[in-house]
Structure 1
Amino acid sequence: MSPAPIPIKPKSHYDTASETSALVSCSYLSSSPIAQEIIASDIAQCFDDCDCHHHDNDEQDAFSDTTSEFGEGHVDIALGGPMISQPSGVAYGTLRPTVAAGVPGTPALNPRDLVQSRMAERSLLRDNHILPPKHPRPFEESPWKRLYRRLFSTKVPTTIDDDDFGPGLSRASTKALESTPLLQNAFTGPYSPTPSEQQFQWDAAVAANLLKTTWQREAQTLTQYSRSLILTFLLHYSVTVTSVFTVGRIGRLELGAVSLATMTANITCYAPVQGLSTCLDTLCAQAYGSGHKHLVGLQLQRMTYLLWMLLLPIVTLWWFSGRVLGSIIPDPDTAALAGMYLRVLILGTPGVAAFESGKRFVQAQGLFHATTFVLLIGAPLNILANWFFVWRLNLGFEGAAAAVVFTQNLLPFLLFLYVRFVEGMDCWNGLSRRAFSNWGPMIKLALPGMIMVEAQYFAFEVLTLAASQFGSAHLAAQSVLVTLTSTTFNIPFPLSIAASTRVANLIGARLSGAARTSAKVALVAGCLVGCFNLTLLSSLRFKLPYLFTNDEEVATIVSNTLPICAVLQIFDSLAAISHGLLRGIGRQGIGSYTNLGSYYLVALPISFSTGWYLGWKLDGLWFGVAIGLAVVSSVELCYLYHCDWDHAVDEAEARMQSDHSHQVEIK
């Protein structure tokens, strides 16, 4: 017989929203009083509007209906904290993607996340033999199947090899055995517990400290989490790669100019826009979690308008960038071409701002695949646009910039079409004049994220400015090297986001042992990815340069520097993974300041010393970067080895309770 359902009293709208906020056990970031102030102010203004009352009631009904639809029947979301399996705060699309470290907030919970978290919990329960296996083992197995199961099975080993199920729950809770049909012989087919049964078993197992994981389970989970992210990152960065491919075929001078223009665009526009928009990871998530879905759309409008206003001084700078760069760069022709490229890119800046805000809008709703679908259409069209503008219309260098502008404005338009005709309209209540108010707290919340992202980008991009001092050939070679290393970085970085998410989920579920196992698997995966990238760059060092340029001098410089960039891949992968793990245990500040300190105090001084004083030029610049990344990975790995993971669990629980109390204050 199944256990009696736990009686649930009816909840008001605010009770449900409050409990929903408390569910986010994976929250490893502290709550933000500024964000609470913004949301509370918006809610207060909302309740002065009768239309908003009506809209909130509609949202409550929609949330209930969706929960019932996705929850496989009745899902009592008040039973406990699920393991949310979606990353948050992802900023990508330029040379070095980042996750802003200083932006606080709680990931939004939605019905889709709830179902995925319950499935993850069910998998762990089955792995620990607390639930019957999904596919019971046959009585007779071939030796090959038995060997395969021993090597790749996600089950936690038991003392009785032939018993796939049984001892776990008896240790967890005698009451569960008395009330739940959990004896293996009682089942002729796979058993699927009700949500109440599963939550009872999960709570009992966690309380008894029975839940463990295996490297097979964590490898499978990290692969599942990261594969779509890797595809998304590579698709988005393909916009930059395609532009470099195209310009490299035009000439050496143009290849160096596009590198210089991209560096200027990153430092003056793309990094600030990404940094400022990271505050939407907090605002949109808390608006969604509070049950006021239409406030997500309000935050989107407010940030988009702010970014568009900030573009005015950027546009002015880009218009005169040829003169500015000419006073810094020794080659006036390269500076003039870079200024021309930036003048064309001005037309794409509104699209960049809109897309950065739009990504946060869909992420708050758990629609992480929306960006992937948009890029699956936009990336091929970008390649077509480069061919059309550069070769078909014979616009040459200006055509390459026009293709980038086309893509930058196409992506937000495609995202709009996805939201309008596929999913995501639940959080849109139309344009509102309230988007022009309450900007002060939002700017105050956004500035730390902007400063952190800007500091990270500037430390890396300054190498391009340094390379320009060695001549046009070295600047063109720098463009190729940055493109190659940034492309390879788009594999370990999404993996680090997946590792951060998984470890944070396990820490929030009070499974410190499982979190350590997941961290070890992630580090091994990072080493494997680093070795793969190293092998790729070193074995193809004489062929890869000719994918970007036909200039022999540029290709020779790239080939000579690629061995340093190849070795760098090991440290780059380990640094990315370890930084992700630090975010997962709530120590993101250590990782961020370690990165910044190593860049400014180690990497750049060594790069400048070896590049100029020792005469290594481009080799010296990248040698300093390699040493800096080695320092980062060593410091962060040392901290991870000595840190107290059980203490991280206690801190995560305290932060979750703080988040819950802040949400109650809003109500």
Structure 2
Amino acid sequence: MALQQPLLDDPEAQSRSDPAKFEVWREVKMQVVIAGPMIVVGILNFIVPISSVMFVGHLGKLSLASASLASSSCNVTGFIILMGMSAALETLCGQAYGAKQHSLLGVYLQRAIFVLLLISIPISILWFYIGDVLRALGQDPLISSHTEEYARFLVPGLFGSALVWPSVKFLQAQYVVAPMAIFSLITAIVHVFLCWIFIYQLHIGAKGAAICVSISYWLNALMLLAYIKFSSTCKTTFTGITKNALHDFRGFFKLAIPATVMICFEACSFEILTLLSGLLPNPQLETSTLVTFYMIPSGFSAAVSTRVANELGAGNHLVAKSAVGVTLCMAALNSILSVVVFLAFRKSIGWVYSNETDVVEHIASLLKVAFLIAACDPIQCVLGGVVRGCGWQAVGALANLTAFYVVGLPTAVVLGFVFKFYGMGLWIGIACGNATQTIILCFLTFFMNWENQVKSFTPFVSKAYAIVV
């Protein structure tokens, strides 16, 4: 889609024909264009860290447990934070693009990259001593030592991630999603090849997998930045380095902080689940299996966030509302398919992660509960995208706090440790939190006043554009 091309036809012309039928099918086409490539991007980006765990898993249960715990710990203390901070661009860039204030997008991109690179410095220091932190939290000392070694080699990848996430949000707001899918595919292929070379040919071991993750993040970052710099698609949204990026940090943090809290509340609940599993009997087994199955269907969330932000920025509140309904239908279909896959292949999925029979059998038992999360996750993910598109990150953070820390984790602790359901109890608890989150976000979305959302967007865009000009 050309950058200058209007995203929507004349709403009045649509209403003169058959608005109900026309709008729905038109929105379906829009969602396929956005969500399809973004789903591919989400899957391929997930392959980078998880394939490293898969390769390491065949080196033994200890290697699998340490790599899984390192991946979890670095997610909760680093990668998730950067992803959360960059989520502010879903509102800022989406809103500016919908309002046709294209020059703002490049300013927002540079501002986000600057902030994320600064934040990466203290995070990298933490990673160098994360083994001490894990031991203080009661984790197995041997697993903690191997985890620290793995995390240290992930530090370069942290800075690469600080470039990747803002670039993704910048392009997503403009519907430039196909190039991201291509870059992610190239990165995933190169990453798998590098893992095979580093782990099995050069015999570097688990740390070789971490090195491969860092290389892959930087490869993806360089391709994205090169596209933004040299592609004609971004010529009006990125006009070069500007000192305006160093102004108005307050506006960025106003959305970035609650967006980070919103995403981290949910993600951290899963990582806390992993840490709690280390306190159960046979922690190597519990830790290696509980971390490997959670994947956000980011394509749905990205699609609805982009559509809502664009249309609210353009003043089309009825189209934004329609976009939410269409994406929810797509997410419901994804929920059904996910449940079918989980139940049909639960006895064989474990062999992908390990060649240990007890690990495979344990994974199969956990999937009896994990399918409940798979059923709710696409729906709540879409609703989370609606929240970010509307700029309601603070409300989303409160919803996630209630769902996971009032309902989910307490239930998991009681079932896992008091009633001795162990890993199964932890998963049941987090499934309850996931369901609670879905219900809260449904309530917020269904009772939202869309016309008021448009009114709240317009003054902010005008003020931001005035600062740049």
* CA–CA separation in structure 2 for the residues paired with 1:407 and 1:484: 21
- Residues 409-432 of structure 1: per-residue CA shift (max 9 Å, x gap): 211122233234434355555556
2:268: which partner in 1?
A: 458
Structure 1 residues 370 and 510, CA gap change in structure 2 (3 angstroms):
same
* CA–CA separation in structure 1 for the residues paired with 2:397 and 2:143: 34
* CA–CA separation in structure 1 for the residues paired with 2:240 and 2:393: 36
Q: Check the 8 A contact 1:586/1:652 in 2, yes or no.
A: no
Q: Are 1:212 and 2:105 an aligned pair?
A: no
Q: Check the 8 A contact 2:308/2:386 in 1, yes or no.
A: yes
Q: Which of 59, 64, 68 does residue 255 from structure 1 map onto?
A: 64
Q: Check the 8 A contact 2:255/2:391 in 1, yes or no.
A: no
CA positional deviation for 1:657: 4.4
Deviates more, 1:500-509 or 1:627-636: 500-509
CA positional deviation for 1:442: 4.7
- Residues 220-277 of structure 1: per-residue CA shift (max 9 Å, x gap): 5433331111111111111022112111111111111112111221122112222333
**What is the identity, as a one-letter code, of the residue corresponding to 1:111?**
Q
CA positional deviation for 1:566: 1.4
**What is the identity, as a one-letter code, of the residue corresponding to 1:498?**
A
2:183: which partner in 1?
A: 374
Deviates more, 1:571-580 or 1:548-557: 571-580
Q: Are 1:630 and 2:440 an aligned pair?
A: no
2:122: which partner in 1?
A: 313
Q: Check the 8 A contact 2:300/2:378 in 1, yes or no.
A: no
2:378: which partner in 1?
A: 573
Two-structure CA RMSD over aligned residues (Å): 3.4
* CA–CA separation in structure 2 for the residues paired with 1:521 and 1:358: 26
| Rg (Cα) greater in structure | 1
* CA–CA separation in structure 2 for the residues paired with 1:432 and 1:221: 33
**What is the identity, as a one-letter code, of the residue corresponding to 1:212?**
A
Q: Which of 38, 60, 66 does residue 229 from structure 1 map onto?
A: 38
CA positional deviation for 1:290: 7.5
* CA–CA separation in structure 2 for the residues paired with 1:283 and 1:397: 39
**What is the identity, as a one-letter code, of the residue corresponding to 1:618?**
G
* Identity between Structure 1 and Structure 2 (%): 27
1:525: which partner in 2?
A: 330
Q: Which of 534, 541, 544 does residue 339 from structure 2 map onto?
A: 534
- Residues 593-643 of structure 1: per-residue CA shift (max 9 Å, x gap): 3232110100000000000001111100000011122223334445555x3
Structure 1 residues 357 and 334, CA gap change in structure 2 (3 angstroms):
same
* CA–CA separation in structure 2 for the residues paired with 1:566 and 1:476: 20
**What is the identity, as a one-letter code, of the residue corresponding to 2:405?**
Y
* CA–CA separation in structure 1 for the residues paired with 2:244 and 2:395: 38
TM-score, normalised with respect to structure 2: 0.85
* CA–CA separation in structure 2 for the residues paired with 1:531 and 1:360: 28
1:188: which partner in 2?
A: none
Q: Check the 8 A contact 2:95/2:309 in 1, yes or no.
A: no
Deviates more, 1:573-582 or 1:308-317: 573-582
Q: Check the 8 A contact 2:168/2:180 in 1, yes or no.
A: yes
* CA–CA separation in structure 2 for the residues paired with 1:584 and 1:410: 29
- Residues 284-342 of structure 1: per-residue CA shift (max 9 Å, x gap): 5677767673x655554444343333333222221122222222234211000000001
* CA–CA separation in structure 1 for the residues paired with 2:442 and 2:72: 31
Q: Check the 8 A contact 1:474/1:554 in 2, yes or no.
A: no
Q: Are 1:509 and 2:313 an aligned pair?
A: no
Q: Which of 291, 300, 304 does residue 482 from structure 1 map onto?
A: 291
Q: Are 1:396 and 2:205 an aligned pair?
A: yes
**What is the identity, as a one-letter code, of the residue corresponding to 1:211?**
P
Structure 1 residues 361 and 553, CA gap change in structure 2 (3 angstroms):
same
* CA–CA separation in structure 2 for the residues paired with 1:306 and 1:515: 32
Deviates more, 1:565-574 or 1:547-556: 565-574
- Residues 564-612 of structure 1: per-residue CA shift (max 9 Å, x gap): 0113322223333444456677866555432321101000000000000
CA positional deviation for 1:443: 4.7
1:343: which partner in 2?
A: 152
* CA–CA separation in structure 2 for the residues paired with 1:408 and 1:392: 22
Q: Are 1:560 and 2:365 an aligned pair?
A: yes
Alignment of 1:121-160 (within 5 A): 121=9
CA positional deviation for 1:378: 1.0
Structure 1 residues 448 and 572, CA gap change in structure 2 (3 angstroms):
closer
For structure 2, which runs of at least 5 residues remain unmatched after alignment? none
* CA–CA separation in structure 2 for the residues paired with 1:437 and 1:659: 15
CA positional deviation for 1:349: 2.0
**What is the identity, as a one-letter code, of the residue corresponding to 1:612?**
F
Structure 1 residues 338 and 637, CA gap change in structure 2 (3 angstroms):
same
Structure 1 residues 447 and 205, CA gap change in structure 2 (3 angstroms):
closer
- Residues 361-382 of structure 1: per-residue CA shift (max 9 Å, x gap): 4445553333222112111001
Give the paired residue count. 463
Structure 1 residues 220 and 455, CA gap change in structure 2 (3 angstroms):
same
